[in-house]
Amino acid sequence: MTVIHPNMADENAKIRARDVCVFYGEKKAIDHVSIDISPNYVTAFIGPSGCGKSTFLRCFNRMNDTIGAAKVTGLIELDGEDIHGSRMDVVQLRARVGMVFQKPNPFPKSIYENIAYGPKIHGLAEKKADLDVIVERSLTRAGLWDEVKDRLDDSGTALSGGQQQRLCIARAIAVDPEVILMDEPASALDPIATAKIEELIDELSGRYAIVIVTHSMQQAARVSQRTAFFHLGKMVEYGPTSEIFTNPIEERTKDYITGRYG
Ligand SMILES: Nc1ncnc2c1ncn2[C@@H]1O[C@H](COP(=O)(O)OP(=O)(O)OP(=O)(O)O)[C@@H](O)[C@H]1O
Ligand SMILES: [Mg+2]
């Protein structure tokens, strides 16, 4: 059973998932999950290791397609459009629904090229001057411009871990996404770099729908307005973050947030 708090349904949902199941071979990793992801909020996915958070997040831009054993069933819509529909171009989908991973993964290219690559292949800029504008704007939004503006030709991999993660966020932003998925984006970072990423999420949240997976309940409480708690492949409870953390309805949610397991 899933407990959904009042007013969590959103007829203007950016992402709408209905009865989504994900199988790895015979094993069911996500079991009939339905959720509305609102464009106006940061949504956090929490739950113990192995409960399916990453698997479910990857559904939203069809990243599970890249995993041979994975099979996704159910309906997922982006702005009301079926992402598994025949008219959906998956490359386009992944530009609209960008992703940032746990481990920063800049391309082994210059800082400039890391950002310029996506806009180039998506035809967002024709002239070098247009690309320059996109590169500066994306790095500025990601809070990295001042740190790298004099070294745009240096390799992206030469940056610190926290800078690399902001570079990856800038790279996602550069193609003008509507949604940014973040799978534990700060778990490999020190507290100062983590604080920067959290600040950044806050700044970006008005502009993009953001879904973040995190193991840190403090982080979920700080950055999100909506929280979904997962357990054993099921979404147990979905509600306003403040309610989930102070007044959860389900016993399993209560147990998790009070640290009884996880
Ligand atoms: N590529 C894969 N092949 C087979 N099984 C997988 C694969 N990826 C995940 N699983 C299984 O699916 C279940 C959910 O995994 P998932 O990575 O989504 O959990 P998670 O909640 O993100 O965990 P964590 O917090 O540790 O990242 C687990 O039982 C896991 O072993
Ligand atoms: Mg995970």
What is the band of 231 on the pLDDT scale with cuts at 50, 70, 90? very high
User: Which pLDDT value is given to residue 260?
Assistant: 77
Domain spans, the chain: 3-257
User: How does pLDDT run across 33-62, given as a tens digit for each residue?
Assistant: 999 999 989 999 999 999 999 999 999 999
Those residues whose C-beta lies under 8 Å from the C-beta of residue 258, and which sit 6 or more positions away, are none
- Inter-residue contact 147 to 163 (CB < 8 Å): yes
Q: Is 62 exposed, middle or buried (0-12, 13-18, 19+ CB in 10 A)?
A: middle
User: How does pLDDT run across 171-228, given as a tens digit for each residue?
Assistant: 999 999 999 999 999 999 999 999 999 999 999 998 999 999 999 999 999 999 999 9
Distance 53 CA to ligand 2 centre (A): 6
Most ligand 1 atoms within 8 A of CB, residue of 22, 24, 213 to mutate: 24
Q: Distance between CA 241 and CA 60 in Å, rounded? A: 21
Q: Looking at the CA of residue 53, tell me the nearest atom of ligand 1.
A: 21
- Round the average pLDDT of the chain to a whole number and report it: 96
Phi, psi of 190 (to 5 degrees): -75, 170
What is the band of 261 on the pLDDT scale with cuts at 50, 70, 90? low
pLDDT at 262 over 60: no
User: Which pLDDT value is given to residue 40?
Assistant: 87
* For ion ligand 2, residues whose CB falls within 5 Å: 54
Ligand 1 residue neighbourhood (C-beta within 6 Å): 24, 29, 47, 49-55, 67, 69
User: How does pLDDT run across 111-164, given as a tens digit for each residue?
Assistant: 999 999 999 999 999 899 999 999 999 999 999 999 999 999 999 999 999 999
Strand partners, 32: none
Those residues whose C-beta lies under 8 Å from the C-beta of residue 244, and which sit 6 or more positions away, are 227, 229, 237, 253, 257
User: Which pLDDT value is given to residue 225?
Assistant: 98
Distance 248 CA to ligand 1 centre (A): 25
- Inter-residue contact 117 to 167 (CB < 8 Å): no
By C-alpha distance, which of 175, 157, 177 is closest to 167? 157
pLDDT at 230 over 80: yes
User: Which pLDDT value is given to residue 126?
Assistant: 86
Most ligand 1 atoms within 8 A of CB, residue of 21, 30, 51 to mutate: 51
- For domain 3-257, give the fold: Rossmann fold (3.40.50)
* Structure tokens, 242: 């403040």
Q: Looking at the CA of residue 52, tell me the nearest atom of ligand 1.
A: 18
Q: Distance between CA 210 and CA 60 in Å, rounded? A: 12
Q: Looking at the CA of residue 55, tell me the nearest atom of ligand 1.
A: 18
For the stretch 83-92, contacts whose Cβ atoms lie closer than 8 Å and that sit 24 or more positions apart, written own/partner, are: 90/62, 90/65, 92/122
